[in-house]
Structure 1
Amino acid sequence: MNRATLIKLIHVARRELQLDEATYRAALMKVCADKTSCREMTVPELVRVLHAFQQKGFTVRSKPVLRGVKPASPVAKILAIWQTMHRQGFVQSGDEAALNAWIRRTTARENGGLGVAQLAWLNQDNALAVKVLESLKRWHRRCMLATLPPGTPAESYPRVCQRYEAETRVSS
């Protein structure tokens, strides 16, 4: 871990352990004699401080990409399909800003001209999230069918995905 990340984690630990200023400074001095600020510490000293806070009950957790999105939710599926479409070359940008722009345009019809501006906001309206998901799946299916050999049956979305993956693996 780099210095900045360690300092951020130490400050998160301080907040989660609910340490007041005096207790926090005393904890720093206990680990690194004569140093009461993270700014004065070297990386190994910062690691020791973080380890000391972990022994007091702090746990380091990774930050999810989208807060509050469950893995099987329509919102998570929308993001996964968008990123897949980008990898496959069907959309130019795989980032969330491009996806948000598409969602805004897509939901404008359903929402009286005002589209939903953020993917995460679809969590509040599951019915609208499902409509957006199904719309994205139909678009992705059309893109895949257009690149498959003529005469490929227009099957369900999962089956077309399987055919496309098999076809692109063979041609690679």
Structure 2
Amino acid sequence: MQRANLIKLIHVARRKLALDDETYRSVLSGAVPGKKSCRDMKVGELEAVLKIMERKGFKREKSLRPSQPKAAPIVTDKIRVIWKIMYRQGFITDGSDKSLNGFVRRITRLKNGGEGVASLEWLRGDQASTVLESLKRWHMRCMREKLPAKGYGLSYERTCEQYRKHSY
């Protein structure tokens, strides 16, 4: 573990064990004679201090926050809804989640080093936005092909309205 992270963890342990300054300094000097500050210690010495604090009852907790922010449920819900609409409109032949995950994998493959994200639920925020916009563009192309005036220059929402009016 890096030195800065060890120091942070020792300070967390100090708070969790409710050590006052005098007791904390005695733990430090007990682990490493002659040193009463983490700032003066090397990585091995900091690890020794942490081991003592763990013996005194400190338990490391797993971080509750994910390492990468997940996509907002609103975005993934929109993706799923558009997918189902495209299925009902006959633009895709399989409206299942398995099929949707195949689309997600294909769209994310280039930005993810050749290996696409296998499930809609695993998308990060930026990836989910990319998938949503790709799906909307595909849906728009499908609707424009069916519209008599082709609907070029219209926004996604307006194209959807026009398509509903002509409901095929």
Q: Which TM-score tier does this pair reach, normalised by the shorter chain?
A: 0.5 to 0.7
Matches within 5 A, 1:39-118: 73-118=74-119
What one-letter code is carried by the residue in structure 2 that aligns with 1:161? C
Corresponding residue number in structure 2 for 1:127: 126
Deviation of 1:110 (Å) = 1.1
- State the alpha-carbon separation in 1 of the partners of residues 154 and 114 from structure 2: 33
Alpha-carbon contact 1:104-1:116 (below 8 Å) kept: yes
Shift of 1:153: 3.3
2 CA distance for matches of 1:115 and 1:151? 33
Q: 2:110, 2:100 → 1: CA distance?
A: 17
How many residues align? The count is 99
Identity of paired residues, percent? 45
Q: Which has the higher contact order (CA 8 A, sep 6+)?
A: 2
Determine the structure 2 residue equivalent to 1:166: 165
Secondary structure (helix, strand or coil) at the match of 1:138 reads helix
Measured on the aligned residues, the alpha-carbon RMSD in Å equals: 1.8
- Post-superposition Cα deviations, 1:18-77, rounded to whole Å, max 9, x if no partner, equal xxxxxxxxxxxxxxxxxxxxxxxxxxxxxxxxxxxxxxxxxxxxxxxxxx9866x11000
Scaled by the length of structure 2, the TM-score of the pair is 0.55
Which residue in the other structure is 1:137 paired with?
136
Q: Alpha-carbon deviations, 1:77-136, whole Å to 9, x = none? A: 0000000000000000111000001110110011110100011111xx101100110000
Aligned residue for 2:11? Answer: none
Instruction: Calculate the TM-score normalised by the size of structure 1.
Output: 0.54
Task: List, as ranges, runs of 4+ consecutive aligned residues in structure 1 with deviation greater than 6 Å.
Answer: none
Structure 2, unpaired ranges of 5+: 1-69
Rg comparison, structure with higher value:
2
Letter of the 1:138 partner, please give it: R
Q: 1:129 to 1:149 in 2, by over 3 A?
A: same
Q: Is contact 1:103–1:132 with CA below 8 Å preserved after alignment?
A: yes
Structure 1 gaps, min length 5: 1-67
Change (3 A) 1:129 1:151: closer
How many Å separate the matches in 2 of 1:86 and 1:141?
A: 14
